[in-house]
Amino acid sequence: LSRSLKYHKHMAIQPIRLFGDPVLVTPASEVVNFDKELRQLVADLTQTMQAAPGAGLAAPQIGVPLRVFVWDINDELGHLINPSLDLSAEMQDGEEGCLSFPNLVYETPRSFKAVAKGFNMHGEPVVIEGTELLARCLQHETDHLNGVLFIDRMNSEQRKIAMKEIRESEWFGVATEGGKSPIVKVSPHSTFGLGL
């Protein structure tokens, strides 16, 4: 963490970056220091996700280019650092939303089962196995860490429809106005419980 990424002493809800912000399409760096600042980042991510509210949130979505994400699925809170994924060949269909795309939900194909290996905030190795929504979340958040967005997972026809809706959305106009970096404090928008 560079000095510019020092965290405040208290947990804080962070602004969520919106589609159009370059941090969302930039691959994140591996975490090397499992320190107090990392624990603060996990706390900030968790609090920001819960306030949104969302089912998952990755560090790049709050402007921090590190391989860290959190989730809240079926009342289970979790976090994972430096994840790698093994995915089932079996696929699932279903709708997906993203906190960086307020109000928009799209059919997004994903593997039915995911096994994620990584570390917890204390640097201990962990393995998380999930199916259905948890598997979808693990894939969605790991994608964020690789600079990949859920619209990149759609077929070209679906993506064309999505991009038209994104360009017409109220937040996108605000986000790109005057070439400013798009930031929203806490999204007043619903992602129908599917915001990742």
Q: Is 137 exposed, middle or buried (0-12, 13-18, 19+ CB in 10 A)?
A: buried
The backbone torsions φ and ψ at residue 101, rounded to the nearest 5 degrees and listed phi first, read -130, 70
Residues 170-174: contacts with CB within 8 Å, 24+ apart? 171/18, 171/102, 171/103, 172/18, 172/19, 172/20
Residues with active-site annotation: 141
Q: Alpha-carbon distance 11 to 8, whole Å?
A: 7
Q: What is the DSSP string of 42-86?
A: HHHHHHHHHHTT-SEEEGGGGT--BSEEEEEETTEEEEEEEEEEE
Give which of 18, 24, 142 is closest to 86, Cα–Cα: 142
Helix, strand, coil shares, percent, the chain, to 5: 35, 25, 40
